[in-house]
Each structure stands twice: as C-alpha cells, then as structure tokens.
A and B are shown apart, each in its own frame.
Chain A
Amino acid sequence: MAEWFSHVLFAYAIFTIARWPINWIDTKWVAVGMIGALLPDLNRLELVLPGEIITSVVGIEFGWLGLHTIAGVTLLAGIGALLFRKAPTQQRAFLLLLGGALSHLILDLPQRYADGHMLLSTYAFPLPVPRPPTPGWYSTPDRWVAGIAVILALLVFVLNHLHYRSPPEYLD
C-alpha cells in the first residue's frame, strides 16, 4: 500500500477536480474525502490490539484485515457519516468518506506482487472477483510515489485556483 501522505494528496486532487462539475463539493467536503482516504488503513489497529488477543477473549478467530475491503470501508463510511450533525450533511459525508476510501483501495491495487497478480479479490470482499495481473508499478516504501502525489496536488491546486478565478460562461 502507499503511505498516507500519498493517499491524502491523491484524495485532495480527486475531490478538488470533482468540485468543478459538482457544485456542492466545496473545500470542507474535499477535507472529508481526504479523511476517507485513511479509512482502509484502520486495519493497522492490529499494531495496537492484535487480532490474536480478541481471538483469545471471544474464542472465535478475529483479524482486522476486513477493514481494508469494500465491505469494511462502506460500514466505516457509515459510522463516520453518523458523526456529522444533520441528515443532509450525513449523506454527503457518507459519499465523500466512501469515495476517499475507495480511492485508497484503487491506489493500492497496482503494487508489485511476487506472483504477478493484484489483491483485488481481497479488497473487493464480499464481491467474488478474480485477481487480475498487476502492472507492479510500486512497492510501499518507493519514495517517488509521494513525489508524484505532490506534483499532482500542486497542479490541481493551481488549476483549481484558475478555475475559480475564471468561472464558466453560464455563471456570467
């Protein structure tokens, strides 16, 4: 997986671009999407509370990897949305949190794997999908990924600034 810095910047880029055709997405919603990009990695709770401990307590095997899946992030986005105050806000929060989380899963797909296939089958749980070939673009500690994320975020920042300095003709 890429580190959070890259995930957050890619989410910033994606949802800032999404602002242009979708009027209700403003900066505060971009921020929600960026938080959403962190949700799948809540499986790192493993470092704080190993699954073996919960297994030992309840007597049923437990692990945190289910959070790094479509099922997991959909439920996490729902939990996050309920933490917002009003109903229309909760609906939009759900969409942005889920969107951010899905951007994370998609960005994690084309990593380098020794058997040459993506972990799509695990990320897509509970959907039954195969493991397609991976282009093997990067491994987690590859520094250049963050460099690309910074360049992309800066480019989008500048384009966004230009976009709102020169509104489209229909607003004249």
Chain B
Amino acid sequence: MESAHRLLALFVLIGLVLGVNFLYVTMDFRSYPSAEEIMTDPGMVDGQDVFIFEEVESVTSDQQRVTILLEDKYFAGLDLGGDMLDTRDEHEITVLVADATVVGSIQAGSYIQIHGRLSHESTRIDAHTIVVEYQHTGDWLYTYGMSLFGGLIACIFFFRHWRITPTGFAPRRDP
C-alpha cells in the first residue's frame, strides 16, 4: 500500500476509533439506573435494583454499613499542580451490608461492586451482593505493577523480532 494511502487509512481508522468512543458512551447497556439517573432524580429510581462500582468513603466498625459517594465530575481547567477535574454534584449513599462473606474485608478506600435495592430517595442501598474488588492500596499496586511488568515483557519480546524502519515495522531478519 502506498505511503499516502496508508496515511489516509490511518487517519480514517483513528477517526473511526474516536467515533466508536463517542458512540459507546451514548449506549445504555445495563438494565439498572446509572449514577447520573440516581443523582438527577433520586426518588424516581427508589425501589429499583442498582449495580454500582464505587470507592468506599467510610465503613462502620461492625462492617454493617458502608458509605459511598456518587460524583458528577467535569473539566475545571488545566492545573499542573492538581486535579483538573472538579465535582459538579455529589450524592451520598449508605449501603447496608447483608452479605456476610465480605464482612471484615471492606475498609475506607476499598473499591467495591454493589448489587442491591435503592430506597429512601436513593440515599440507601440494601445490598444483595457485594464484591470487594480492590481491598487496599496493595491490590492497586499489585495490579499496576504486574501490568507494567507484563507490558515490558511484551515490548521486549516484540522488539527482539521486529525493528522500526522509516516505512514501518519490519522483521529483524529482513534485509
């Protein structure tokens, strides 16, 4: 394929990839209320089941109640020293933990999945099931550390067999 055609094809594909991302966020995949719907009209979704992924803000000593915070973030401006995103709106929810299997494993900062029923103007979730995905910082460090290591292995293995030329990747044994 000539260079000009390749470049054109590249731009088209990059445009399509960005288009897929724009389209994807408009899709409604789940049969549950979204965080946006809960924050917009909390009373409307009372009584419905919800499936949420959130960070734990606080947990009671007996592990029976967990607090999570839904946030609507927006781009506040370039700030090299801090967070570029600001919070437009937030909604606190208390989760009642009926799932005995997770008692003892939830702490502030844990990242959990909650499947449960909304009530009290969406300020409460009676949890059917909770999955503790990331319990503490160590879990995040493990995941990102192993991912970095895996990426490094893949890149080293790739560049053992391929080289970069002005017209693209070529096998190292090619003249």
Query: A residues engaging B (CB < 8 A)?
Result: 3-9, 12, 27-28, 30-32, 34-35, 37-38, 41, 50-53, 55-57, 60-67, 69, 71-72, 75-76, 78-79, 82-87, 89-90, 93, 112-116, 121-122, 125, 139-141, 143, 146
Contacts and interface: CB of A to CB of B under 8 A. Distances in A.
B79 to A, nearest CB: 12
A139 B161 CA distance: 33
Interface residues of B, number: 63
A26 to B, nearest CB: 9
Interface of B: 1, 6, 9-10, 13-14, 16-17, 20-27, 29-30, 32, 49, 51, 73-75, 84-85, 113-115, 128-135, 139-140, 142-144, 146-151, 153-155, 157-158, 160-162, 165, 167-172
Contact of B85 (A50, A71, A113): A50
Given A75-B20, A85-B169, A146-B146, A52 B85 contact: yes
A34 B160 CA distance: 13
A101 to B, nearest CB: 13
A82 B10 contact: yes
B98 to A, nearest CB: 12
A114 B169 contact: no
B165 A85 contact: yes
A68 B89 CA distance: 28
A64 B25 CA distance: 9
A82 B9 contact: yes
